[in-house]
């Protein structure tokens, strides 16, 4: 107990200097008190739950009551009055719409004439609440805020095959009202792990908050700003899926997120410290151990409040949670791509079509494990099943220009079969078109042009013209058209190919089997 002869003003100054980080010798020089007296007074103040700056709002008489014991001590009712349960009132204030006036009316109704008046009730509650830590005095509405962050401490996981050690990251989420905590290990802090941890946390809690409060992580916040932080697009999409708002803590303002700061510290002390001598060989085993210790952590009794994190969650946050959507959020990565001249975009080495008017324009591509969606101006313009076959195309007919759509029903195999039906020389010319055009579509058009010539000039004349073009080493559609127009296909002043002699094996003729 403090010495009654010591000035309460001097004790108040001691608490201020101690909070400023001064040593005992420095405080002795500033106050004129001995080191022993300083130690005794600070211990008495700690026992009376007096700290700076809370003590600054108290009168010297109130400080004397707390330290010396004269008069009525806080927490002890005056003669004829019944003290309210301030711990229960502190928890009740976290409920939506709750006020001190309503709680006072309930308290008055329960004890009748033995109740303090409203003003004295508020003063005594304030005096009680000032004995709590500053971070605990913050009042959070039930179900309102969920604070999320990664712990600074990691846990080693040993690869059983190579012996290589990987540092697993520890994700922590804590509710503002109840302090109910969730923790899990992820391989990295990358976007997919960050969002996946949120999804599993929501499943663990059985619902979602109104507001998520992250600590401006680079993975989730593209641009940290006190007034208008810019969220990562995938993180914002996850928030939209669950109907929550994301309000990052202000940069360099740890008091904006004291709940998760304390939760991280508690997880490190009561979970990670207990696992320090364990060896883990898989992420699954580590998370199983964390889950067991997490249940014990949430059931540890509060020191200054009734109950524990689990009971507080059941009473406060759980009834106020927003319902989970029918299906969990599926992580999607966003990339920016430019549409190629063939109206396709490349994602992971595979090519996906978009409407041809978007050629050379920049679009947003959303990639999940199963789908690839393309957006232009915020509107989805294409959707494909995701393929991991590199160098191949996924093309929708509706995305093609009209001229290409007419040719879409044709394939190299079908064109070669049609040409072989007309004759070996026509087959050689068609094979040349497919082999020597800069784009497959151009070869299709040339081959279909040859088909049109068969209708105009007849099958026999087309075969004869192709035979003459192959003989002249000009197996192009233009050459065949010229031969047909000038009638050279009807002349026999060159050495025709004997149909009985097989077509020579050269680079321009590969046969139908090549296009299977």
Which pLDDT does position 227 carry in this prediction? 40
| pLDDT per residue rounded down to tens, the chain (516 residues) | 444 444 667 777 788 788 877 778 777 777 777 787 788 778 877 777 777 777 777 776 677 666 654 433 444 455 567 888 887 787 777 766 677 888 888 888 887 777 888 888 888 888 777 766 544 445 678 888 899 889 888 999 999 888 899 999 999 999 888 889 999 999 998 888 888 999 999 999 999 998 888 875 555 554 444 444 456 788 888 888 898 888 876 554 555 456 667 888 888 888 898 888 899 999 999 999 999 999 999 988 887 777 888 998 998 888 989 999 998 888 888 888 898 877 888 888 888 989 988 888 898 888 887 888 999 888 889 989 888 888 788 888 888 777 665 555 566 777 888 888 888 998 898 888 887 765 555 677 678 788 778 888 888 898 999 999 998 888 888 899 898 988 888 876 555 555 444 555 555 555 555 555
Which pLDDT does position 408 carry in this prediction? 57
Query: Long-range contacts for 383-388 (Cβ within 8 Å, ≥24 apart)?
Result: 384/352, 384/353, 386/350, 387/350, 388/348, 388/350
Which pLDDT does position 250 carry in this prediction? 58
Which pLDDT does position 74 carry in this prediction? 44
Which pLDDT does position 205 carry in this prediction? 93
Rounded CA Rg of the chain: 40
Say what angle helices 424-435 and 440-457 make with each other, to 10 degrees: 150
Which pLDDT does position 70 carry in this prediction? 40
At 351 the three-state DSSP class reads strand
The ranges assigned to domains in the chain are: 1-71, 75-131, 145-320, 333-401, 410-515
Which pLDDT does position 283 carry in this prediction? 92
Which CA distances in Å does 280 have to 31, 267, 369?
Answer: 55, 18, 29
How many angstroms separate the CA atoms of 110 and 328, rounded?
46
Which pLDDT does position 154 carry in this prediction? 92
In 164-282, alpha helices (H): 191-205, 233-242, 258-267
How many angstroms separate the CA atoms of 510 and 11, rounded?
101
Pairing of strands 211-213, 245-246: parallel
DSSP of 142-170, one letter per residue? TTTEEEEEE-S--EEEE-TTT--EEEEEE
Which pLDDT does position 459 carry in this prediction? 87
How many angstroms separate the CA atoms of 245 and 293, rounded?
30
At 466 the three-state DSSP class reads helix
Phi/psi class of residue 511: alpha, beta or left (left: φ > 0; alpha: ψ in -120 to 50)?
left
Say what angle helices 118-129 and 100-111 make with each other, to 10 degrees: 110
Q: Which CATH code is given to the segment(s) 145-320?
A: 3.30.420.10
Which pLDDT does position 157 carry in this prediction? 93
How many angstroms separate the CA atoms of 428 and 224, rounded?
65
At 322 the three-state DSSP class reads strand
């Amino acid at each position: 107990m403090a010495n009654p002869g010591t000035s309460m003003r001097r004790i108040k100054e001691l608490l201020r200097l101690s909070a400023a980080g001064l040593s005992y010798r420095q405080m002795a020089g500033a106050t004129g008190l001995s080191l022993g007296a300083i130690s005794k007074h600070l211990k008495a103040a700690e026992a009376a739950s007096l700290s700076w700056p809370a003590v600054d709002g108290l009168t010297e008489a109130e400080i004397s009551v707390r330290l010396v014991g004269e008069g009525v001590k806080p927490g002890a009712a005056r003669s004829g009055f019944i003290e309210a349960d301030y711990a229960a009132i502190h928890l009740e204030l976290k409920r939506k719409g709750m006020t001190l006036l309503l709680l006072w009316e309930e308290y008055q109704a329960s004890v009748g004439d033995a109740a303090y008046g409203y003003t004295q009730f508020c003063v005594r509650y304030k005096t009680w609440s000032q004995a709590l830590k500053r971070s605990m005095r913050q009042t959070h509405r039930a179900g309102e805020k969920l604070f999320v962050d990664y712990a600074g401490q990691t846990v080693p996981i040993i690869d059983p095959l190579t012996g290589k050690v990987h540092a697993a990251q520890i994700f922590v989420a804590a509710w503002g009202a109840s302090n109910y905590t969730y923790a899990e290990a992820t391989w990295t802090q990358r976007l997919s792990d960050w969002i996946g941890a949120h999804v599993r946390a929501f499943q663990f809690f059985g619902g979602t908050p109104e507001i998520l409060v992250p600590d401006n992580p680079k993975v989730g916040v593209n641009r940290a700003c006190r007034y208008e932080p810019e969220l990562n697009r995938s993180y914002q999409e996850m928030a939209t899926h669950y109907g929550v708002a994301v309000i990052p803590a202000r940069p360099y303002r740890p008091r904006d997120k004291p709940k998760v700061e304390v939760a991280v510290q508690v997880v490190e002390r009561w979970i990670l410290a207990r696992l320090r001598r364990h060896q883990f060989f898989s992420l699954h085993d580590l998370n199983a151990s964390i889950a067991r210790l997490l249940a014990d952590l949430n059931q540890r009794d509060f020191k200054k409040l009734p109950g524990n994190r689990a009971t507080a969650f059941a009473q406060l946050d759980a009834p106020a949670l927003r319902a989970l959507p029918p299906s969990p959020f599926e992580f999607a990565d966003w990339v920016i791509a430019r549409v190629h001249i063939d109206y396709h975009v490349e994602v992971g080495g595979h090519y996906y079509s978009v409407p041809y008017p978007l050629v050379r324009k920049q679009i947003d591509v959303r990639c999940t494990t199963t789908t690839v969606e393309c957006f232009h101006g915020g509107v989805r313009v294409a959707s494909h099943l995701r393929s991991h076959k590199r160098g191949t195309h996924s093309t929708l007919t509706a995305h093609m220009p009209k001229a290409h759509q007419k040719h879409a029903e044709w394939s190299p195999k079908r064109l070669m079969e049609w040409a072989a039906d007309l004759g070996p020389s026509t087959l050689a010319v068609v094979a040349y078109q497919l082999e020597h055009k800069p784009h497959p579509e151009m070869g299709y058009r040339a081959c279909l042009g040859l088909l049109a010539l068969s209708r105009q000039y007849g099958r026999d004349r087309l075969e004869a013209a192709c035979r003459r073009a192959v003989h002249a080493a000009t197996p192009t559609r233009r050459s065949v058209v010229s031969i047909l127009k000038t009638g050279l296909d009807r002349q026999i002043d060159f050495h025709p190919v004997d149909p009985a002699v097989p077509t020579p094996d050269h680079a321009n003729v590969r046969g139908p089997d090549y296009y299977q």
